[in-house]
Structure 1
Amino acid sequence: MSNNNTGNTQNAKRKPVVLMPMGAQERKGHDYQVMTKKYMSPLVEISGCVPLLAPTCFGTEDLEQYLSMVDGVYLTGAGSNIDPALYGQENLTPDKSQDRDRDLFDLPLIRAALDMGLPLFGICRGMQELNVALGGDMHQKLYQTPGLNDHREDTTTPVAEQYADIHPVRLVPNTWLAELMQQDEIPVNSLHGQGIKTLGKGLQALAHAEDGLVEAVHLPELPQFTLGVQWHPEWLAAQNPHSVRLFQAFGEACRNRAEQRSR
């Protein structure tokens, strides 16, 4: 009897598990797979989930096994750009780092996760991956695109200034995101040189910057939580009520998925 009670208690306390693909980084001649703490912190502390970090450098052979173990997928930002060949363009930023292993892992991961009904949350590069995985393409140089603003951070300033709120985004009225944020416009940070040009199949915009750039997307035809944002809600998330709402909503979606799996 005591063993059964222990098992029931453990099941009751089980937190949702969320897959977080890592990225490549070279340090002193060694290849690393890395994940920044700032992305993990709100997933653990606000979403109430357990991160499962997946190396992206070994191909997709184990992709289905990874997805079978998790209740959601969380795609983070990174210093690298997506290989433009994957959306039919030449590389206009050859000086910028790329991470093709992550590209070739995350794009099929996204499609498989969506097919399985897993909640998915993408930030910055993660939102761009979602767009490319569904056939969309990118502005490679927003700062040289007529009619669009320079959305890059000033790298000469302290990190806290780089991640400070810099411009508003207007939420599409009468959407779940506008309802969640409880207002029509929210201030966000901005640390990206690229942005969505053409939306991928099924994606719809949830928010726009002042220049019209898409800042948030979702897949309204799918029943599960899907969200990509171009800004960085993970930065000091606990101090930002809008970030808290986002990570709480993702965590709740992952809990619902975990409960469905346990039935």
Structure 2
Amino acid sequence: MPSFIPSGNRKPVVLMTMGAQPRNGHAYQVMTHKYITPIVEISDCVPLLVPTCCGTADLAQYLDMADGVYLSGAGSNIDPSLYGQENLTPEKQQDRERDLFDIPLVRAALDRGLPILGVCRGMQEINVALGGDIYQKVYSEPGYNDHREDADDPVDEQYGLSHQINLVPGSWFAELMGQPSIPVNSLHGQGIHRLGSGLEPLAHAEDGLIEAIHAPAISPFLLAVQWHPEWKASENPHSIKIFEAFGEACRARLNRAIAA
């Protein structure tokens, strides 16, 4: 017999979209543990893992169950045709099914006023969903550094702190972090070029690349970052603040829904 959870004891539900990964001739939908655990352990929310391989017919029903949306990173790139460019990295994996799910998901979540957190690819998805575009090869752009990890390094070194980012002075994110700059890791070959409608920068790398964004005019809580705060999040005070803030935003959204 199904149990009933009193509304006062209910944790917020966070929708997390999965991605494609072929294994041994089979198509898988996957989500890495490192993205899930901070939502449970720090945000104190319940993750709802959603497949992106079946289209968007049930998107509204998924969102009916959600108090927030979390768009993770992934090993695949966004299809450049979705932001009006030719593919300059044909050797890199793409996941068009995730693209075609997450882009309308972002727009629908914004329409509902759901809190949104994006990491790496997730940040780029938000930007593309709102009409922006990205550098396909940041490392080839004049004036920008190479933000990629060394694939031959051990994982702990790949995800180790790599460079400083400068937070926009006076922004809520700078206040949340409690300092004007913070160190972050760096594992991306692509990055934001032209910002989408309603998006504003919250932080820049030392070379000027946008490292964090929000959307104060169109969302009560949207935070997206280019680095990977989920990596050993419980050991990083800045990551803890990010996931706590997202959890509180999801709780506020849930409480408003309960009170309505």
Scaled to the shorter chain, the TM-score interval is: over 0.9
Q: Among 195, 201, 205, which residue is 2:197 paired with?
A: 201
Letter in 2 for 1:115: D
Shift of 1:12: 1.9
The equivalent of 2:165 in structure 1 is: 169
Q: Which amino acid aligns with 1:171?
A: L
Supply the AA of the counterpart residue of 2:257. R
1:130 to 106, 126, 132: 126
Q: 1:18 aligned to 2:6?
A: no
Q: 1:156 aligns with which of 135, 152, 156?
A: 152
The Cα of 1:223 is off from its aligned counterpart by 4.5
The TM-score with structure 1 as length reference comes to 0.96
Q: Which runs of 5+ in 1 are unaligned?
A: 1-5
C-alpha distance in structure 1 between counterparts of 2:220 and 2:100, whole Å: 24
Q: Distance in 1 between matches of 2:254 and 2:168?
A: 30
In structure 2, stretches of 5+ residues that fail to align are none
Q: Quick one: percent identity of the two aligned structures?
A: 67
Q: Pick from 238, 247, 256: which aligns with 1:242?
A: 238
Over 3 Å off, 4+ runs: none
CA distance in 1, matches of 2:199, 2:237: 26
Q: 1:108 aligns with which of 104, 110, 121?
A: 104
Counterpart of 1:239, as a letter, is E
Work out the CA distance in 1 between the residues paired with 2:173 and 2:186: 19
Q: After superposition, what is the alpha-carbon deviation per residue over 1:187-218, rounded to whole angstroms, capped at 9, x for unaligned? A: 00000000001000010000000000000000
Is 1:48 matched up with 2:44? yes
Taking the aligned partners of 2:197 and 2:57, their CA distance within structure 1 comes to 26
2:242 matches 1:257 = no
Residue pairs, 1:219-234, within 5 angstroms: 219-234=215-230
The code of the aligned residue for 2:243 comes to: F
Partners of 2:250 and 2:216 in 1: CA distance: 17
CA distance in 1, matches of 2:7, 2:79: 42
Match of 1:181 in 2: 177
Cα deviation for residue 222 of structure 1 reads 2.7
What is the aligned partner in structure 1 of residue 57 from structure 2? 61
Number of the residue aligned with 1:99: 95
1:147 and 2:131 equivalent? Answer: no
CA RMSD of aligned residues (A): 1.0
**Distance between the aligned counterparts of 1:127 and 1:142, measured in 2?**
15
TM-score after normalising by structure 2: 0.97
1:14 counterpart letter in structure 2: R
Do the aligned partners of 2:110 and 2:219 also contact (CA within 8 Å) in 1?
no
CA offsets per residue over residues 61-81 of structure 1, 9 Å max, x none?
Answer: 000000011000000000000
Once the two structures are superposed, residues 136-169 of structure 1 have per-residue CA deviations (whole angstroms, 9 ceiling, x without a partner) of 0010001111110000001101000000000000
